[in-house]
Amino acid sequence: MECFIVEKDNIDLEKHELVLAGDEAHHAIRPLRIKTGDPLLATDLSGVCYQCRVERADPGTLTLICSIKEILPNFGESKRNILLIQGMIAQPSRWEFLLEKGTELGVTSIQPVTTERTERESFNRERSERILRASVKQTKRARIPELRELSSFGMALSDAIKDGRRILLLHEAADKSSTLSRSTLTTDEAIAVAIGPEGGFSDSEVEMASKSGAEIVSLGPRRLRAETAAIAALAILIDQ
Ligand code: SAM
């Protein structure tokens, strides 16, 4: 069953009806050939999916009128709230790969940060948001990850502390006895996981994080690229 994005204003819960319009309807009617009677999933991107049946597909106005069969709160969402604090990655294609895979794995929020060793201090927000939206549809989840404004690592750390998150900083040189493991986590704890940029975190950043209460953890004996480390960590941390 395909998944589409529905604008909140186009959902009428009293009538058990929603309307797909614009690009979403175009995509459904033209390449996907969705027609009257077909089932589909629609997400409002802020926590609810709707299981629907197409009642009318109008190629002229490019609209799909759908009846809502079931409301699915938090469909496809992880039970654990995970904030990814990510040292900005220099190469845009690697940054975009990370956005896509992070969304597939269920990340809740992404906080790009500048660190002592970041080589890039910006990202294309519009393009990044487009990748997140496409990945939400592909993945069939109810919520789009929050993509925060770029901030300093120190600022992101203090925000995570204020929010009461458990902070895990992934460091290649961490003691191998402290390897990231699902068994030390509880379902309802909110986590911030920090990954360095290509050059890693500096010793002073690791020390600052550690003094602020972060746990310095390893992902094993191999040095992973920043985006691989993020994906590997999320795969361990996400609670299905
Ligand atoms: N030489 C760099 C360093 O000193 O950390 C390597 C940086 S690595 C390419 C980018 C980031 O991925 C690191 O800052 C860390 O957060 C994460 N990372 C990569 N391999 C890791 C490992 N084996 N254990 C923990 N974190 C790792």
Q: Which residue has the higher pLDDT, 85 or 30?
A: 85
Confidence class for position 129, pLDDT limits 50, 70, 90? very high
Confidence class for position 176, pLDDT limits 50, 70, 90? confident
pTM, whole model, 2 decimals? 0.95
Q: Which of 167, 204, 224, 237 to mutate to test the pocket of ligand 1 (most atoms within 8 A of CB)?
A: 224
Give me ligand 1 centre to Cα 138, in Å: 29
Residue nearest atom 2 of ligand 1, based on CA coordinates:
200
- Using alpha carbons, select from 20, 1, 22, 23 the residue that is nearest to residue 11: 20
C-alpha span between 47 and 136 (Å, rounded): 11
C-alpha span between 102 and 132 (Å, rounded): 9
CA 197 to chain centre: 18
Give me ligand 1 centre to Cα 195, in Å: 7
Give me ligand 1 centre to Cα 96, in Å: 19
C-alpha span between 15 and 23 (Å, rounded): 24
CA 8 to chain centre: 20
